[in-house]
Structure 1
Amino acid sequence: MTDRRTQLAQNLAQVEERIAAACAAAGRKREEVTLIVVTKTYPASDVRHLAELGVRHVAENRDQDAAPKAAQCADLPLTWHFVGQLQTNKVRSVVKYADVVHSIDRTRLVTALSAAAVRAGRELDCLIQVALDAESGAVSGRGGVAPDGVAALADAIAEAEGLRPAGLMTVAPLAGPYAGRPRAAFERLREIATDLHAAHPAANMVSAGMSADLEDAVAAGATHVRVGTAVLGVRPGLR
């Protein structure tokens, strides 16, 4: 039986080939796109294997999984991303290990994160999660702010101590005009990101695309892709 490290190395190589090919097709340099491996439900041992294989960015979407895993891997040269919906009662824990939070979607969360970051003596990069289906009045249940709310939220982050507006994140919508059209969705995100960058020049991250649609994200200008299944396999319980 193939050992886990070898399996991860093979999967990682395949994902790397996909990203490289997508960059070439889009006329972009490979180094313009950062791979974030989403390790949710997988053990700290997998994170260690990934670090040995050169991965430098990992993500989690649940604090109860992320906090102990990050503690076990504190010696590794990793940037930790929190990508799930974040409740205000979890922020004190999240700011202890997360370097980047991708799911900012309300001012109350900005206020809570700021207070926790100051208390912890940390500065966090914050991405605003954009709900593209909100433009049509649809509600995804995945969180996110409507596109017309991005500017005000970015200003709130910029004014909050301990936080920096770093860019935008989205998930390809399941409803509304972009349902089944990830390329169009990611191109719309890029348009919103261009406006944000004009107001906040340091906010240059565009986090979009996952295992199934990373090529569309790269073609649309994403700077970061969040890949879980294609690297780690189908999550336990979903087989």
Structure 2
Amino acid sequence: MSTIEENIAKIAARIRAAAHASARDGATIGLLAVSKTKPAAAIRTACATGLRDFGENYLQEALEKQLELSDLPLIWHFIGPIQSNKTRPIAEHFDWVHSVERLKIAQRLSEQRPADLPALNVCLQVNVSGEASKSGCTPAELPALAAAVAQLPRLKLRGLMAIPEPSADPAAQRAAFEQVRALQDSLNLGLDTLSMGMSHDLEAAIAAGATWVRIGTALFGERDYSSAS
């Protein structure tokens, strides 16, 4: 068994345990493997274990890997900040976008989504901790943004994404994630997705209702950002 396979098994066991502790069905919690800066060979190894969902932050790197792995039945998620001049290839080559924070970006994704593809699944990124270094709309901006995005024709608004301020306190972790869950519930849009939780806080995220946990280093090892673009 390779290190990647071992790591996937360990994370899957943590997800199952967290789901059991929260009286949730583990099948409702997806493992999104964050493969940014990692080679296509690592994704191929992870796919061989049954993983299908992979998250990328850097567009050009992602497009190159998609081409190299086109023989595999992968589902691609864009999870990084989105520049206006990169919306077309994102709309054309991804199945999910987790990081929509502005209406202009959502409108461009909708306009540029090819008609022969299913509607693009999108999550709105909300900055619940108010950190200047984090992307995302504010909680106050969220209702108007969600209402507008829900009306766009080539998008399917699925839910919210958040990266709360890191904390070693499980109670603080859970409080932040429950704020995200409360924000989603308050929208009354029938949304089904909460993209939140990483390797250090996935248990708290699952307890608060996460449906995607985004795991990278704990699966693939430390990252080398020297060639990221």
Same fold (TM over 0.5): yes
Partner of 1:168: 160
Partner of 1:29: 25
Which among 188, 198, 205 is matched to residue 179 of structure 2?
Answer: 188
**1:142 and 2:134 are equivalent in the alignment:** yes
Partner of 2:203: 215
Q: Which has the higher helix share?
A: 1
Which among 130, 136, 151 is matched to residue 159 of structure 1?
Answer: 151
Q: Secondary structure at the match of 2:141?
A: helix
**1:133 and 2:121 are equivalent in the alignment:** no
| Shift of residue 128, structure 1, vs aligned partner | 0.3
Letter aligned with residue 232 of structure 1: F
**Identity across matched positions, percent:** 37
**1:96 and 2:92 are equivalent in the alignment:** yes
| Maintained 8 Å contact 1:140/1:173 | no
Q: Judging changes above 3 Å, is the alpha-carbon distance between structure 1 residues 145 and 120 closer, same or farther for their aligned structure 2 residues?
A: farther
Per the normalisation by structure 1, the TM-score is 0.88
CA distance in 2, matches of 1:71, 1:151: 37
Per the normalisation by structure 2, the TM-score is 0.91
CA distance in 1, matches of 2:54, 2:224: 18
Q: CA RMSD in A?
A: 2.1
Q: Secondary structure at the match of 2:93?
A: coil
Letter aligned with residue 11 of structure 1: N
| Maintained 8 Å contact 1:126/1:157 | no
| Maintained 8 Å contact 1:140/1:174 | no
CA distance in 2, matches of 1:97, 1:51: 19
Structure 2: gaps spanning 5 or more residues: none
| Maintained 8 Å contact 1:95/1:120 | no
Structure 1: gaps spanning 5 or more residues: none
Number of aligned pairs? 225
| Maintained 8 Å contact 1:85/1:142 | no
Which residues in structure 2 correspond to 1:64-143 (within 5 Å)?
A: 64-118=60-114, 121-134=117-130, 139-143=131-135
Which among 178, 183, 192 is matched to residue 204 of structure 1?
Answer: 192
CA distance in 2, matches of 1:125, 1:106: 15
Higher RCO, 1 vs 2 (CA within 8 Å, ≥6 residues apart): 2
| Shift of residue 194, structure 1, vs aligned partner | 1.3
| Maintained 8 Å contact 2:91/2:114 | no
Letter aligned with residue 169 of structure 1: M
Letter aligned with residue 103 of structure 1: S
